[in-house]
Amino acid sequence: MVSVRTVVDRVGPTLLHALQVPEESPAVGDVVIAEPGHTLAAGDLVLGVAITETPDAAELVKLSAAKGAAAVLLKPPLAAKPSVKRAAKSADIALIEVRSATSWAQLVWLLRTVLDALADESDALEDGGGPGSGDLFRLADAVASVVDAPVTIEDTNSRVLAYSARQDLTDSARVSTIMGRRIPDDVLARFRSRGVFRELSRGRQTIFVPAQRDGTLPRLIVPIRMGGELLGSMWAVVAGPVSDERAAAFADAAPVVALHLLRRRAHTDSQRRVSAELLRALLEGKASPRKAIAELDLSEEPHRVVVIEVSGGDGRDDEGLRLALLERISQGVGRRPVATELGGVLYAVVPDGDGWDELRAALEALPSSRKGGTPRAAAGSACEIGELATSRLQADEALGLLRAKLVPGRVVVFDEAWTALSLHRGATAASTSKVAELGPLGLLRAHDEAHESGYVDTLYQWLRHPGDPRAAAKELRIHPNTLRYRMRRLLDLVPLDLDDPDVRLALITQLVSLRWS
């Protein structure tokens, strides 16, 4: 059953405002325009297109109620007239005010599309599917008939959301776009070089792109906006320049498509919130693996948890880049990844193997943000779904190595970083027991603080590269002779028997605790 309230909510407050909706009203069946001699039926949404006088409006309300209609739709000021409202309340029929700037033709089209979509949603939900699955495709067909050309509806990332019939009358670029569900990179670059996306962002009503030498046919493009926000665009493949009337008809369809995109985004956001909550619970070890596999569409194979941190060049959190990255991961970076935000960082669960390899390559190839920062990421070990909480802890620990600059690069894998992790864990334990405070090392540290002599770093590199002063000097970016001179001076300051292996091991333990903890 499709109720009046459902229809009004679906169309939204931009076009409709419910002045009166009875608690119990007939199910909505069809949209009709009130005309002399027109027969009304139960469940009709009656549009008072030609009604201009208050008495006529009140009479229409009474007649519609008598025929069992679901609602009467009128424009201001008629809808809010006291006598009209009284008639609706007395007859127990819904009274809907249509915003004054709304086109009646546009509203008829939208209402019928909404009713078809709601009917499909009921069938889809009974079958376990999602709402509005064919909604945008029907809308694309309707727009294509208006502009008399094959049409695609795309989001702001140039992903194809829906397309009309008659795509056989297009070019290879359009076929590739539909097959891949997004504009191919080379085609995208050509349109970008012609300033198409710059014009879209500026909000031009329509954009005409002439044919190109590679055989790409002309395009008529219109931005899809709502409240100043760019939601996407519609692209029509045309034979040549388009008349002003035809271009205007194409542009007039954009507000209707915008409403559908807003509803689609609201549904997607709702689904994401539910999935994100389940994923967070899974990463915290509080969710059933069986439920996660079913509801997050995870396969029963080893997965990794990947933690991704995004910060600007100033070290502050870059929220814009983080949200863009979350969107990109959610739309298919890696094979079947699921992602969420937790504590200011992103967590993605991705299948080991090809899925992780693809995500890793994408992360390593990401350019710096406008603020000068780059994402850094760490992956836990591959494990079964029920053990992802452990993989998350491993990823967090590995990310700590990147934050402290204890490992190079911008992506680290827990399995591959075992040496750094061993040193870090050992150093942390040694630091807790204040190992570095034992023996003469404190004198060297105090001398460095007072004179900036660099003796502690010199000793550390000398011990790391036994018998190879050139390698030690290279790490310090000094000449080997300078290294030898420093070693003589520090041994004069603090007599150490560096020929004793236990002395060397103790010093290495102390120095590692200082540098790796």
- Tell me the pLDDT of the chain (517 aa) as tens digits: 688 988 887 776 667 899 999 988 888 988 888 876 667 889 999 999 889 999 999 999 999 999 999 999 999 999 999 999 999 999 999 999 998 877 786 677 668 767 766 665 555 444 444 444 457 888 888 888 888 899 999 988 888 888 887 777 788 888 777 766 678 888 888 898 888 888 888 877 889 999 988 888 999 999 998 777 788 999 999 989 988 888 888 888 888 888 888 777 766 666 667 777 888 888 989 888 888 888 787 888 899 999 998 765 455 555 666 666 666 666 555 445 688 877 778 898 988 988 888 888 888 877 665 555 678 899 999 999 999 999 999 999 999 998 888 888 889 999 999 988 888 888 888 878 888 888 888 899 899 889 988 999 999 999 989 989 999 999 999 999 999 999 999 999 998 899 899 999 889 888 888 877 6
**CA–CA–CA angle 473, 478, 483 (5° rounding):** 55
Q: CATH second-level architecture of 4-120?
A: 3-Layer(aba) Sandwich (3.40)
Q: From 3.40.190.10, 3.30.450.40, 4.10.520.10, 3.40.720.10, which CATH number describes the 135-264 domain? A: 3.30.450.40
Check whether domain 288-416 has CATH 3.30.70.270, yes or no: yes
The sign of the dihedral angle between the CA atoms of 54, 60, 65, 69 is negative
User: What does the domain layout of the chain look like in residue ranges?
Assistant: 4-120, 135-264, 288-416, 432-516
Pairwise CA distance, residues 382 & 442, whole Å? 43
Q: Two tokens at 474?
A: 């290279």
Do the strands 44-47 and 160-163 form a parallel or antiparallel pair, or are they unpaired?
A: unpaired
**Contact between 146 and 249 (Cβ < 8 Å):** yes
Closest residue by Cα to residue 70 from 104, 50, 96: 96
Separation between Cα atoms, residue 303 and residue 385, nearest integer Å: 7
Burial class (CB in 10 A: 0-12, 13-18, 19+), 225: middle
Secondary structure percentages of the chain, helix, strand, coil, to 5: 50, 15, 35
CA-to-CA dists, residue 10 to 4, 28, 125, angstroms:
10, 13, 17
As a whole number of angstroms, the distance between CA 265 and CA 285 comes to: 30
Contact 238, 217 (CB under 8 A): yes
